[in-house]
Amino acid sequence: MRKLPQEIIRAKRDGGALDAGDIAGFIAGLTDGSVTEGQAAAFAMAVFFRGLSLDERVALTRAMTQSGTVLTWDLSGPVLDKHSTGGIGDAVSLVLAPMVAACGGYVPMISGRGLGHTGGTLDKLGSIPGYDATPGLHRFRAVVRDVGCAIIGQTAELAPADKRLYAIRDVTGTVESLDLITASILSKKLAAGLNGLVMDVKAGSGAFMGTLDAAQALAESIVGVGNGAGMQTMALITDMDAPLASAAGNAVEIAYAVDYLTGRRREPRFHTVTLALAAEMLVIGGLAADTADAGARLEEALASGQAAERFERMVAGLGGPSNALGVSADVLSVAPIIRRVLPERSGYVTGVATREIGLAVIGLGGGRTRPQDDIDHAVGFSELARPCDAVGTEAPLGIIHARDENAADIAAVALRAAYRIGADAPGIARAIHKRIG
């Protein structure tokens, strides 16, 4: 007999251990609706404060995986994926999936919407008219088979329990729970039937894990549970003390990704992180002998235009325009107010309160404060300055894309407050801190 949800919540609230049956029963109730939103929120908060043991974490991951369909594949290459714990200007997934596909991997990427102060890959893709982020499994399989990659959201069939809990975590202050992050990420990836997973665990002022120690703990948790579940898993801990790309928002990040794939613009820090993650995927999948070999193959996929072509085919396959690369500027939403934000004094960027930039995007309407909120795909920031950049009258902190003048005024105040300016340029921080697994 399934325990009452409130009894399971009470046990965890008081620091007790939950057995696999209790966890499976609670997740089954979350899936069929017998567990209320309030109970799910209370469970998430209890886990946030009390934590889960490794056995409880594995049980939660497995229960969420088994709450829906678990895919199997019959393809000519390895089934691989990368997942980020979230950051500002993190448009890596948009370009990495087609890059790996161009090198012989298959990437069925199941991504999420914005979570907390961070942007979501699905919200970015929602900027593209016609793009279907929640296709049926038949269409999803077909695009992965034909193109090599497809980036979608959780459908009703895949890890539905996680889909519901994910939205609740976003608005209840429980996003940062190591245990819930681990189960959320891995339940989706296991449901996707992956052979291998590379994790991008962010550390810094714009990450959920603000310190390297916290990021390492999460990376080790994910690598341990993933490998324990039979899926090759490793992680890189990367820096999020500044926006990774110079764009933060939805349509602005799609435009940034198109520029990257077509070679119009490849910022060094973004390129370094993207290449490192994609190279680890090729090695895990047996498509390259080592990361140096993988890096050379990925650079060729970019230079030849094959990665860009895969992106365009993926967009078309999921309902978007057939010539997304050529018409991106025409089809993407454009905000009516576009304004440069100058610093209060000239100098060099010595630090960025990156989380505040993410919150400013939400303030513009580019993110959610409630699961049911609509978002404005056009708003955000572009040309964001990063540490070591010189700023002044000719070099702005960034460009605001806003719906109206009042929103732009508020965003300008937030953007200036997020930057520290000094007379001397600081040392350049490492883009990649550590490899786990």
- State residue 327's pLDDT score: 67
Q: Please report, in tens digits, the pLDDT of each residue of the chain (437 residues total).
A: 789 999 999 999 999 999 999 999 999 999 999 999 999 999 999 999 999 998 899 899 999 999 999 999 999 999 999 999 889 999 999 999 999 999 999 999 988 776 567 778 889 999 999 999 999 999 999 999 999 999 998 778 888 999 899 889 878 989 888 899 899 889 989 999 999 999 999 999 999 888 999 999 999 999 998 998 889 999 999 999 999 999 999 999 999 999 999 999 999 999 999 999 999 999 999 999 999 999 999 999 999 999 999 999 999 999 999 988 876 667 888 999 999 999 999 999 999 999 999 999 999 999 877 767 789 999 999 999 999 999 999 999 999 999 999 999 999 999 999 999 999 999 888 999 999 98
| Active site residue ranges | 81-84, 121, 169, 184, 188-189
| Residue type (1 letter), 303 | A
- State residue 107's pLDDT score: 98
Q: Whole-model pTM?
A: 0.89
Q: Which domains does the chain have, with CATH numbers?
A: 5-51 (1.20.970.10), 80-329 (3.40.1030.10), 334-422 (3.90.1170.30)
- State residue 329's pLDDT score: 67
